[in-house]
Structure 1
Amino acid sequence: MRSLLSGKYVRDLTEDDLLSIITPHLPQADGVIVPSGDDSAVIPASDGRYTVSTDMLVEGHHFRRDWSSGADVGWRAATQNLADAVAMGAAPRSIVVSMGLPGDLPASWVESFAIGIAEACGHVGCGVDGGDLVGSELLTISVTVMGDLQRREPRLRSAAHPGQALIHCGELGRGYAGLELLTRGYTRELGVIPPTQTGLIDDFLRPKPPLVQALDACRENRIGAMMDVSDGLIRDARRMAKASNVWIDIESNYLAQHIEDLIPVARRLGLSDPWEWAMKAVLTGGEDHGFLATLDRPAERAWGPHTLALPEGFSRIGQTREAHTGGFVTVDGKPVDYAGGWDHFGE
């Protein structure tokens, strides 16, 4: 390992590269059911199974205070963790929050942050039950979420099988479009741009994953594999494909509405090919925190006039075609040209 890493720095590696370096050295808890590598670990307990997952936010990397209020950041910090619990089929029960706070940070910002955390957790009945505060030169936030599987089996990204229907719940590309508008100097202030586009900015600053719908689908026991789409549809589909050793084919015609919704933004930004930009946003844009899943039945029985309806809120976006060692993702049967997606250590 030392020779492979010789001369390399964090800036030279992706998040997945770094995890592959770190995880082999780490011990596992006795009896752990799902170790590191999925959206949450799953730990056995005497009265059931619980999931645990953690995420960090660092000012300047994940948020900017000139764009986001404290409440926005609190909402985001909670929501991305709640989505990780739900992605495993677990009901979020409790979070703990740790913060590194610069001395010149206004106390009112900290209070606003707490309000945002409370708003996000209130939607799913999740408590905020502890944490830690330390002084820091840089504003940093760490949230850990505990989820209750309620005696269900966890939903794993490694559970996709050839021939299953590929489905998705939530938005695609809206967070990316909102970020592009912010980068160009637009704000949520009403009257500057149409309400539909200010809504995109709000969706970036405050992601709105369909937590209840995804959890209901798990309770109905209709989901095969599932994961949170936070780093872009293609990037996260590749993770599912790799974990499950399958070929995943995304069908672009089922993404048409997501694409059409973003074309006005591309035109506002003066882009030469609005459709191409919107397509790339839908396939590679992150921060929407929707849910990619397979249906626990063959695709030919998953839709059509004589089949059961999809779980509420989910729509068809493709199919798992066949087994493929190491995983493979295509769009309309063709290899994907887009790299894209969010990587914490990418440029």
Structure 2
Amino acid sequence: MSIAEAGEFGLIGRIVSRLGSGSATLLGPGDDAAVVRAADGRVVASTDVLVEGRHFRRDWCGPEDIGHRAAAANLADIAAMGATPTALLVALCVPTGLDVTWAEGLADGLSAEAGLVGATVVGGDTSASPTLTIAVTALGDLGGVAPVRRDGARPGDVVALCGRIGYAAAGLTVLSRGFRTPKLLVDAYRRPDVRYPAGPEAARLGATSMIDVSDGLLQDLGHIAEASVVGIDVRRDSFEPPAQMLDAAKALGVDPYVWLLAGGDDHPLAATFPPGVTLPEHWRVIGSVLDGAGVTVDRKPWTGGTGWDHFR
């Protein structure tokens, strides 16, 4: 059945029937607006949009994969503020000839990714469009702590990373060259593996700044450097590319550090911490904060590209 045959309200009914309810949801889909509990008294909010042909391709990713990716892009932003995600709002613009089961798969992926942190999809909107577009807004709860902003890094802080990096960028290159292996890299592109609890954990550990690495490590660390009016240096030897990445890089003629330092879509969290803080093992120190400006690699300018720019 196509979406045109299902109709707007038939589509909405099919999507809503696949969504659960979380502890923060007081009133879910069905009214003019949802009601979400904000125990902290403050609501953290972020939004992101995915456009077919720009952010995803249906011949590379299934609908559930795209649902996971769309949710992760927003949930990671909430975690990067030191908050816990509570709810998602989703606007879906679809070609009317699209099969309704595709939209159901998307809803399953969105719901499953949100469920990893106890959040739910609480509402949204639908519209016909010649270009498949998914806009997601995420809400979160700070749990009584101050948000971790980008402007708090100070010289002497260490820079640490939590989560895998470079995998999704490598998977994108593999797919764009017409291959489907290594599976590790392709799967990483299709579905991010985000350490959401690390955001609130970093806040508790005293992180001075934090960011979701969505567009490239050097570029996103550059946002912290600019906001904090500091320099940041990253050490190449702090990264350990897996064998599959090294093999793919050799076969495709790519420097793997371009994936590691400038690739996006993995959504690890990068944070700065005061010197002397003991970090859990899943936080890996990758550099330091210095007097100065900009981001360097091994104290030298990096010329291999820094990340994704939608308008470049």
When normalised by structure 1's length, the TM-score is 0.76
**1:217: which partner in 2?**
202
Aligned pair partner of 1:244 in 228, 235, 239: 228
2:266 is the counterpart of 1:292: no
Which residue number in structure 1 is paired with residue 261 of structure 2?
A: 283
Structure 2 residue aligned with 1:159 = 152
State the one-letter code of the partner of 1:262. M
**1:335 aligns to 2:301 (yes or no):** yes
> What displacement does 1:214 show?
3.0
The answer on whether the counterparts of 2:39 and 2:141 sit within 8 Å (CA) in structure 1 is: no
Cα distance in 2 for residues equivalent to 1:121 and 1:71: 12
Q: Provide the C-alpha distance between the structure 2 equivalents of 1:161 and 1:260, rounded to a whole number of angstroms.
A: 35
Q: How many residue pairs were aligned?
A: 275
Measure how far apart 1:258 and its partner are: 2.7
Match of 1:82 in 2: 75
Matches within 5 A, 1:1-347: 47-187=40-180, 193=181, 197-218=182-203, 220-255=204-239, 257-258=240-241, 262-269=245-252, 271=253, 277-295=255-273, 297-298=274-275, 301-302=276-277, 308=278, 310-322=279-291, 324=292, 327-346=293-312
Structure 1 residues 316 and 260: CA distance shift in structure 2, 3 A? farther
Identity %: 41
Distance 2:220 2:236 in 1: 16
Structure 1 CA distance for aligned equivalents of residues 168 and 309 of structure 2: 15
Structure 1: how far apart are the matches of 2:110 and 2:140? 17
SS at match of 2:59: coil
Q: Is the 8 A contact 2:51 2:133 kept in 1?
A: yes
Residue 309 of structure 2 aligns to which amino acid in structure 1?
Answer: D
Residue 215 of structure 1 and its aligned partner are, at CA, apart by: 2.7
* Distance in 1, Cα, partners of 2:39 & 2:184: 45
AA matched with 1:228: D
Shift of 1:176: 0.8
Structure 2: gaps (5+ residues):
1-37
1:267 maps to a residue whose letter is K
Report what 2:28 is aligned to. Answer: none
CA distance 1:282–1:46, change in 2 (3 Å) = closer
Contact 1:222–1:311 at 8 Å: present in 2 too? no
Spell out, residue by residue over 1:31-59, the C-alpha distance to the aligned partner (whole angstroms, 9 max, x if none).
xxxxxxxxxxxxxx895221111000001
In structure 1, runs of 5+ residues without a counterpart are 1-44, 188-192, 303-307
The CA distance in 2 between the partners of 1:47 and 1:183, in whole Å, is 44
For 2:161, the aligned partner's letter is: H
The C-alpha deviation readout for 1:219-277, integer Å capped at 9, x for no partner, is x233110000000011111111001000101111112x1376521111232x2xx6xx1
Q: Is the Cα–Cα contact under 8 Å of residues 224 and 293 in structure 1 kept in the other structure?
A: yes
In structure 1, C-alpha distance between the alignment counterparts of 2:246 and 2:238, rounded to whole Å:
16
Distance in structure 2 (CA, Å) of the matches to 1:57 and 1:232: 17
**What's the counterpart of residue 18 of structure 1?**
none
Q: 1:99 Cα deviation (Å)?
A: 0.7
Give yes or no for contact 2:79–2:198 (8 Å, CA) kept in 1: no
The normalised TM-score by structure 2 is: 0.84
* CA distances 1:90-135 after superposition (whole Å, capped 9, x unpaired): 1000110001111111101000001101110111000110000011
